[in-house]
Copies of this chain bind each other. A is one copy, B any other.
């Protein structure tokens, strides 16, 4: 339902341009440009006049003109597969905040894992002379990345390192994440431990699993492949995993899911089946998305430092914008455990 009560004629005032400022202060545009940009090399008296005119006209340099001329749009492009994904929204948020603090705007695009959308979006960014592109979760297919690099546009991959490509990346120490979760569970006395992974085609999932198993082994526990279910990072695959674990008849007292969404699925399914958490089953997640605190029981998880990640990514972009062309760099960030209510000592049934 759309209604149009009335039409209001608009003033349509134009924004002041550098010309207007020049005219009002009685100098040339280049002088105005000087006081805006370097401030130096300008007589104090004329500068004051210009500044006064700028204030009076509320002049703000047009960013398109500036970007066109300077070849840099003062924009950061951010590409994520899915904004609604609880992990990515943290990236969006942090990137925007970091960029704003540094005087950049950010254009956000979500590819929905569609390579065509992805490429279209990248083209748009390139056509806007972006200062850099922050790329979250690329398909391993790296054609588009090559394109970006060829255009000499700084790029940073977040969350997934493409070392062989020599592309600057910010990644989590995924092996350590796996270790942390196993350690927590082992310390609580659990011996029948399960793991729900993301797709094992993704190297970070394999890394996490490796860390997890290593700790179990170091503690004399086994973790046969049968104790592992491969999920897809989605809620439902967590639910399904519980069914799988129950099927095989063997008991289990603890599960680690390689992301929080699956952990939520696990919790929901367990509760539905009448299993108590953490009294009968301890559950650990991974990512530390905001929901963790909102459910009952709240979810013990491995914190993924999204904010630091985005700050680092931004730093790498800026660094590439400086002289010397792009640097090849990989920043490795460390996860840590956040203990909440979904985990408890083995065998304590209150």
Q: State the A residues within 8 Å of B (CB).
A: 1-13, 15, 60-65, 67-68, 73, 75, 83-84, 86, 89-90, 92-93, 96-97, 100, 105-110, 117, 121, 123-124, 126-129, 149-152, 166, 235, 261, 264-265, 267-268, 271-272, 290-291, 293-296, 312, 324-332
User: What are 15 contact pairs spanning A and B, CB under 8 A?
Assistant: A2-B329, A5-B329, A7-B327, A10-B149, A13-B151, A61-B127, A64-B128, A64-B129, A65-B68, A75-B107, A83-B96, A100-B121, A108-B108, A268-B296, A271-B296
Option from B9, B106, B127, B261 in Cβ contact (under 8 Å) with A60: B127
Q: A150 and B4 in contact (CB under 8 A), knowing A64-B129, A129-B64?
A: no
B296 to A272, Cβ gap below 8 A? yes
A1 to B332, Cβ gap below 8 A? yes
A15 to B105, Cβ gap below 8 A? no
Q: Which of A3, A9, A64 has the most CB of B within 10 A?
A: A64
A106 to B105, Cβ gap below 8 A? no
Q: Which of A13, A117, A296 has the most CB of B within 10 A?
A: A296
- A110: which B residues are within 8 A, CB to CB? 93, 96-97
A265 to B293, CA, bound (A): 10
A156 to B349, CA, bound (A): 56
- A330: which B residues are within 8 A, CB to CB? 2-3, 5
- A62: which B residues are within 8 A, CB to CB? 68, 127-129
A123 to B74, CA, bound (A): 14
Q: Sort A-B residue pairs by CB-CB distance and give the 9 closest, nearest first.
A: A12-B152, A64-B68, A63-B127, A83-B93, A271-B296, A268-B296, A264-B294, A10-B325, A63-B128
A149 to B149, CA, bound (A): 40
Option from B11, B106, B329 in Cβ contact (under 8 Å) with A150: B11
Shortest beta-carbon distance from A93 to chain B in Å: 4
A89 to B84, Cβ gap below 8 A? yes
- A61: which B residues are within 8 A, CB to CB? 127
A90 to B11, CA, bound (A): 34
Option from B8, B86, B89, B149 in Cβ contact (under 8 Å) with A326: B8
Q: A64-B128, A268-B296, A291-B294 are in contact. List 11 more A-B contacts (CB 8 A).
A: A2-B329, A6-B328, A7-B328, A8-B325, A9-B325, A15-B126, A62-B128, A63-B124, A63-B127, A107-B107, A261-B294
A220 to B64, CA, bound (A): 62
A83 to B90, CA, bound (A): 8
A15 to B151, CA, bound (A): 7
A193 to B27, CA, bound (A): 71
B117 to A109, Cβ gap below 8 A? no
Option from B75, B108, B331 in Cβ contact (under 8 Å) with A96: B108
Shortest beta-carbon distance from A267 to chain B in Å: 7
- A326: which B residues are within 8 A, CB to CB? 8, 10
A325 to B6, CA, bound (A): 12
Shortest beta-carbon distance from A29 to chain B in Å: 16
A6 to B329, CA, bound (A): 8
- A86: which B residues are within 8 A, CB to CB? 290
- A83: which B residues are within 8 A, CB to CB? 89, 92-93, 96
